[in-house]
Chains A and B, each alone.
Chain A
């Protein structure tokens, strides 16, 4: 079950539609963590996630007037965020960009606590190819169907299914590899949370 989005007060959305900057700021406060998390998981880069977050809320500010149903403003904002991330995926600039230096954390297999396991899963997710990462996150966490994912990515539902299967296989392989003597650092160092 995908994590539920916070529900914006109807009055805030109405004020935002009328151009109230304070209302825009309230929407940002409410939804920015979910949007940034989504972008970070999809793009595996803090810098790109920051860009996507900014681009999303520029569009929210400019187009909130087109969102007629206050009850689904959160889903509307998230949809904009997903499309901003997809644009990054397709962008040639992203394909040429070298990875952020501080994102290149070597993958460690040692897991001692639930927090270590979560960190291992985060790192494993980051190592997936971008397309597979998009599919697995949109399907398993955001609750999108294969048909929806196919449409978003300009592919077929079958493509989405095969990408998901491969992504799960790869994640399982990464997480089930035995620990080694050299890979003990996750238990002894402060985990780096992006």
Chain B
């Protein structure tokens, strides 16, 4: 790979299916096999089509668009959680993603235990985890709650913890999905500050949001996704302006 881009997506296609019938039990599988019926009856329901993205090291890009336009799918593809139906996705360096806030936590374990587990999932060694734990705990600023099982946390608290872990693993590429929508004003301000630091340190950022104002503090570029296709890509202001023009008007 000679390319220097931190994240590169070329001709990426991701197809999801709507199942008119989906066989979810072995019993049914056998019955349908014997009767010669199809195992699944499905049709393509959503497709992320010809997704192109190139993010240089140290750049920040926002993915904007309506609900269901494919922003989160694109982010999951980059994170490696989904495998693309076709196309090439390349990333360089350590990648951390905060997707579906907090739900990756184990409700029975305490905040501190979850931090260790989460950091381990992100590929940190035991020593690194031990070194950074205090920093993570301090940034999340949950007080004594850090020693309580996560099941007693509010969604905002879970969000803070998830965000702290993701930042403190010192990723090269950070993917955020609607993260700043949760958490109180004070925490949000601290997040933005930390993200700006992160970028000054050469970090690459990809943010998914439908709130253009939050994103403006972090990104210069934006990609506007509309029903699975890139509608417009370029400087944030131009893209945001074009996007704002369509919001409210019905596109058939």
Partners in one complex: no
Chain A interface residues (CB < 8 Å from chain B)? none
